[in-house]
């Protein structure tokens, strides 16, 4: 029998994969993709807990998370394009002008 | 029994595809594999009696957001990540891998200590009904819904302004 715990553990693993992507990759686009993985892991938690509590709120907050993710992707990719135009690279190591 | 098999199949697809996403050097393959992972998550939403969320997952994530990513990957035409030759490449990479492994183990350890909470299966579509979601969205959460439209507008203007070519 599949319980809420199964869904929570799956979502925890997916979230950890997303953080690993942010830690390990040296490409701004892949880092944005890893952030999408993390957002989806959280969405899975919301829907599973909503199912467990027998309420529709989990799906509604998932809807809002998807909207925010779409806005984040649009602005993030516009930033990536602007950065690439300036430095001709996508490595985050190239963008350290604000680093002390 | 069917639920059992379907859950493990979708979970395996989601985890393997996500691992391959962060394992690829070519961002093009990463984006395509992430679409696979989102498809598996949509299957899990169907198992959780949330067909509306499953459909929006496919339409918005796999359909809209990932196509945006694909466009940018193709537009910038940087297929491969540069070889790691930066200052603290290997050491930072190893530290990152260890930290994320510790994080995974921590989450799994914390969650396995919980008592088992059963999710009732096949509840006749009461949670999943689009009518119930729509009612809640346009009554209880009407303000948040309207605020979302403002957010989309701001994001749209921001994207246009940021990606515009500068003339001077």
Alpha carbon of A100: minimum distance to chain B alpha carbons (Å): 16
3-state secondary structure of B94: helix
A13 with B15: Cβ contact below 8 A: yes
Give A33's contacts in chain B (Cβ within 8 Å). 21-22, 27, 30-31, 34, 69
pLDDT given for residue B67 in this prediction? 92
B163 with A89: Cβ contact below 8 A: no
Assess whether pLDDT exceeds 80 at residue B118.
Answer: no
Distance, CA of A16 to CA of A14 (rounded, Å): 5
Assess whether pLDDT exceeds 70 at residue B126.
Answer: no
Distance, CA of A23 to CA of B102 (rounded, Å): 13
pLDDT in tens, A18-53: 999 988 888 889 999 999 999 999 999 999 998 888
Q: How confident is the model at residue A96 (pLDDT cuts 50, 70, 90)?
A: confident
| Residue of higher predicted confidence among B121 and A65 | A65
With beta carbons less than 8 A apart as the criterion, state whether A4 and B119 touch. Answer: yes
* pTM, to two decimals: 0.88
**What tokens appear for A33 in the block?**
């993709």
**What tokens appear for B1 in the block?**
């029994």
pLDDT given for residue B127 in this prediction? 64
pLDDT in tens, B139-165: 999 999 999 999 999 999 999 998 887
Distance, CA of A40 to CA of A62 (rounded, Å): 9
3-state secondary structure of A18: helix
Give A77's contacts in chain B (Cβ within 8 Å). 68-69, 72, 159, 163
Give B100's contacts in chain A (Cβ within 8 Å). 16-17, 19-20, 23-24
Share of chain A above pLDDT 70, in %: 99
How many residues would you count in chain A?
A: 100
Alpha carbon of B39: minimum distance to chain A alpha carbons (Å): 11
Averaged pLDDT, A62-71: 93
Angle at which helix B66-76 crosses helix A28-52, to 10 degrees, equals 170
Asked if B15 has any chain A CB less than 8 Å from its own CB, the reply is yes
Q: How confident is the model at residue B85 (pLDDT cuts 50, 70, 90)?
A: very low
Asked if B16 has any chain A CB less than 8 Å from its own CB, the reply is no
Distance, CA of A1 to CA of B42 (rounded, Å): 20
With beta carbons less than 8 A apart as the criterion, state whether A23 and B97 touch. Answer: yes
Residue with tokens 């930290």: B99
Averaged pLDDT, B16-34: 91
Nearest to B68 among A3, A19, A74 (CB): A74
A68 with B151: Cβ contact below 8 A: yes
Q: How confident is the model at residue B88 (pLDDT cuts 50, 70, 90)?
A: low
How much is the ipTM here? 0.90
């Amino acid at each position: 029998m599949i319980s809420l715990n199964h869904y929570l553990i799956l979502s925890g693993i997916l979230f950890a994969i997303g953080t690993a992507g942010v830690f390990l990759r040296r490409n701004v686009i892949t880092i944005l993709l890893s952030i999408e993985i993390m957002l989806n892991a959280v969405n899975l938690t919301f829907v599973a807990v909503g199912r467990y509590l027998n309420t529709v709120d989990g799906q509604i907050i998932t809807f809002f998370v998807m909207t925010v993710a779409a806005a984040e992707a649009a602005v993030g990719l516009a930033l990536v394009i602007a950065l690439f135009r300036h430095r001709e690279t996508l490595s985050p190591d190239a963008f350290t002008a604000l680093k002390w | 029994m069917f639920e059992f098999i379907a859950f493990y199949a979708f979970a395996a697809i989601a985890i393997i595809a996500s691992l391959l996403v962060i394992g690829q050097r070519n961002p093009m393959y990463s984006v395509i594999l992430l679409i696979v992972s989102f498809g598996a998550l949509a299957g899990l939403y169907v198992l959780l009696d949330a067909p509306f969320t499953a459909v929006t997952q496919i339409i918005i994530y796999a359909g809209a957001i990932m196509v945006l990513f694909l466009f940018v990957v193709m537009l910038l035409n940087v297929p491969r990540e540069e070889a790691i030759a930066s200052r603290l490449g290997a050491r930072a990479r190893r530290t990152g891998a260890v930290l994320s492994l510790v994080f995974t183990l921590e989450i799994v350890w914390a969650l396995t200590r919980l008592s088992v909470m059963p999710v009732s299966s096949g509840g006749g579509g009461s949670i999943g009904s689009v009518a119930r979601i729509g009612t809640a969205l346009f009554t209880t959460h009407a303000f948040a819904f309207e605020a979302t439209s403002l957010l989309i507008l701001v994001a749209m203007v921001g994207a246009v302004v940021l990606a515009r070519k500068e003339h001077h």
